[in-house]
């Protein structure tokens, strides 16, 4: 009996590893992160066009723990990127979807910049991108017919001076992506077919508008996952089955903003998340 239970647990764990795979997670806490420049910490890199803007671990504001990644425009700066390489070959892996989630807090100010996530392949071709612009409108970068790069205004505006929960879901099976704000689908399109099958990195991206933006951004709870399917609703741990462990995760996180237990991604773990687990209980098992 014990052997059978252990065998079942082992099977469940192997299924879990087959169906969801964390490429990278950062809540920007200490360790491994210390206040100061993120570059050089935990394998992070940076690239700037023009004067470097600042990407620093900060204790000023955080959604999880006491630290986040703060992006500060520097006078004379333009585009800046910070990333940690997380290569994943979707041609050889059964996990052909990349699920990127992050929380972002943009301050309001007199001269606002653009902040988002810019996705690249191993050949440094852009795959797709997402940003909030100076008017707080969400814009996405898609590729018409998988080839022609196009910046698209979504008509969706986000509030500044608060945390919002963002997600990009890239499907290498279909060559498409979808963008979400606080759990709501807000747009999507084709990815760059020339980028190839190897996902490489999801970059923190800042454009310093007119080189004199004076707002700041905080990023927290960055998660990059490779998954086989978009996910059973309520399957908190991503193992393909909605069961006790998912229920317990939501119950233990009840009232918090824990991104792992926030099933509907609206920023709080509450009744709505619990109901989504209960309504789907047993699905996929």
239 binds Ca ion (CB under 5 A): yes
CA distances from 140 to 133, 167, 220, 273 (A): 10, 12, 20, 28
Site for Ca ion in 177-216 (CB under 5 A): none
Is 182 strand, coil or helix?
coil
58 binds Ca ion (CB under 5 A): no
String of DSSP letters for 25-92: EE---TTT--SEE-TTSTT-EEEEEEBPPEEEEESS--SSTT-EEEEE--TTEEEEEEE----EETTT
Site for Ca ion in 61-100 (CB under 5 A): 62, 64-65
- Rounded-to-5 percentages of helix, strand, coil across the chain: 15, 40, 45
Half-sphere exposure in the Cβ direction for 266 (13 Å, CA): 9
Q: Which of 46, 139, 220, 258 binds Ca ion (CB under 5 A)?
A: 220
Q: Could you tell me the smallest distance in angstroms from the CB atom of residue 27 to Ca ion?
A: 4
Q: Could you tell me the smallest distance in angstroms from the CB atom of residue 63 to Ca ion?
A: 6
103 binds Ca ion (CB under 5 A): no
266 binds Ca ion (CB under 5 A): yes
Q: Find the part of the chain contacting Ca ion (CB under 5 A) among 3-11, 91-99, 133-141, 228-236.
A: 228-236
Q: Which of 70, 273, 276, 280 binds Ca ion (CB under 5 A)?
A: 273
Nearest Cα residue to 143 out of 115, 114, 121, 113:
121
Q: Could you tell me the smallest distance in angstroms from the CB atom of residue 152 to Ca ion?
A: 27
Q: Which of 129, 264, 276, 280 binds Ca ion (CB under 5 A)?
A: 264
Name the DSSP letter for residue 160.
Answer: S
CA distances from 282 to 6, 17, 60, 222, 253 (A): 20, 19, 42, 29, 21
Nearer to Ca ion, 112 or 264 (CB): 264
258 binds Ca ion (CB under 5 A): no
Helix (H) or strand (E) holding 158: none
235 binds Ca ion (CB under 5 A): yes
Nearer to Ca ion, 203 or 273 (CB): 273
Q: Could you tell me the smallest distance in angstroms from the CB atom of residue 9 to Ca ion?
A: 13
225 binds Ca ion (CB under 5 A): no
Q: Which residues bind to Ca ion, rule: CB under 5 A?
A: 27-28, 62, 64-65, 220, 235, 237, 239, 241, 246, 262, 264, 266, 273
């Amino acid at each position: 009996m014990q052997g059978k239970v252990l065998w079942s647990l082992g099977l469940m764990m192997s299924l879990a590893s087959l169906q969801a795979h964390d490429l990278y997670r950062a809540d920007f806490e200490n360790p491994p992160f210390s206040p100061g420049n993120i570059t050089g910490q935990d394998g992070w890199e940076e690239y700037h066009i023009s004067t470097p803007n600042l990407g620093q671990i900060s204790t000023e504001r955080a959604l999880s723990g006491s630290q986040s990644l703060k992006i500060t425009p520097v006078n004379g700066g333009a585009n800046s990127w910070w990333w940690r390489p997380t290569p994943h070959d979707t041609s050889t892996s059964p996990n052909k979807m990349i699920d990127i989630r992050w929380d972002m807090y943009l301050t309001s100010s007199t001269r606002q910049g653009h902040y988002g996530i810019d996705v690249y392949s191993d050949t440094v071709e852009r795959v797709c991108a997402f940003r909030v612009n100076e008017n707080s409108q969400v814009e996405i970068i898609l590729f018409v017919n998988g080839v022609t790069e196009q910046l698209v205004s979504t008509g969706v505006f986000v509030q500044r001076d608060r945390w919002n929960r963002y997600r990009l879901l890239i499907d290498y099976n279909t060559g498409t992506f979808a963008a979400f704000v606080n759990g709501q689908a807000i747009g999507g399109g084709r990815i760059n077919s020339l980028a190839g099958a190897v996902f490489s990195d999801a970059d923190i991206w800042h454009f310093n508008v007119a080189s004199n933006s004076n707002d700041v951004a905080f990023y927290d709870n960055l998660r990059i996952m490779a998954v086989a399917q978009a996910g059973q609703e309520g399957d908190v741990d991503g193992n393909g089955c909605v069961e006790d462990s998912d229920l317990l995760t939501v119950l233990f996180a009840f009232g918090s903003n824990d991104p792992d237990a926030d099933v509907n991604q609206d920023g709080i773990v509450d009744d709505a998340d619990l109901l989504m687990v209960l309504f789907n209980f047993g699905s996929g098992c």
